[in-house]
Amino acid sequence: SQQGEEDPQALSIQEGENATMNCSYKTSINNLQWYRQNSGRGLVHLILIRSNEREKHSGRLRVTLDTSKKSSSLLITASRAADTASYFCATDEGTSGSRLTFGEGTQLTVNP
Amino acid sequence: DAGVIQSPRHEVTEMGQEVTLRCKPISGHNSLFWYRQTMMRGLELLIYFNNNVPIDDSGMPEDRFSAKMPNASFSTLKIQPSEPRDSAVYFCASTLGLGGEQYFGPGTRLTVT
């Protein structure tokens, strides 16, 4: 079953605006990861945040993690048309540390 | 590095036929994962290997599905016999160690008619 649940399911914005996507999960995690998937392609890893971290940045991406609320958010600043894709959160919850459980994703459309 | 390589990229077959999907992980990675993606169920983990040993196959839907990893550079996912409900995109991913970022292949789009 899918642990991560992304919100919203779909988001449409104009180029230059910021996009915020949220992810909620149910169990304790070792880390949480965000991936991007362009249509017809494989997933691409964006950023990993560990359970003892609260915020992480990578270029135009900012990820926060609130373990007390079991939630994470991905912020893309100054969006571009090329950011149009589906975004998935994935949680690593097992003791083995390898099994990822993916959410259903947020479809982001950035209009030029 | 060529990344994770999957073949074929597209497969169309008739119900009842055997289907074999292939994956070459990134050199040096010791964990390999098979996922299935459909509109209805999203991205599901089928099975993963660590150091060529299957660790968790609880996601394999039924006995018609089997996966092998005979060496560190090759894995197969076999469906025999295939059914229309197996139609999906199958992804292979690899990583070094446990718990880190996974590198996905381009996927195999399987259509069973």
Scored b (16 or more CB within 10 A) or e, A27-44 reads eebbbbbbbbbeeeebbe
- Would the pLDDT of B10 be above 70? yes
Which chain B residue has its CA at the smallest distance from A86's CA? B42
Inter-chain CB proximity B100 and A48 less than 8 Å? yes
pLDDT in tens, chain A (112 residues): 335 678 889 999 999 999 999 999 988 888 999 999 999 899 999 999 999 999 999 999 999 999 999 999 999 999 999 999 999 999 987 665 567 888 889 999 999 9
CB contact under 8 A, A43 and B106: no
Q: pLDDT tens across B14-42, in order?
A: 999 999 999 999 999 999 999 999 998 88
Q: Are B94 and B26 in contact (CB under 8 A)?
A: yes
Give the model's pLDDT for residue A2: 39
Dump pLDDT digits (tens) for B43-66. 999 999 999 999 989 999 889 999
Handedness of CA B45, B111, B26, A82 (dihedral sign): negative
- Tabulate helix, strand, coil % of chain A (nearest 5): 5, 55, 40
Residue A2 vs residues A42, A51, B87, B91: alpha-carbon distances, Å: 19, 19, 20, 17
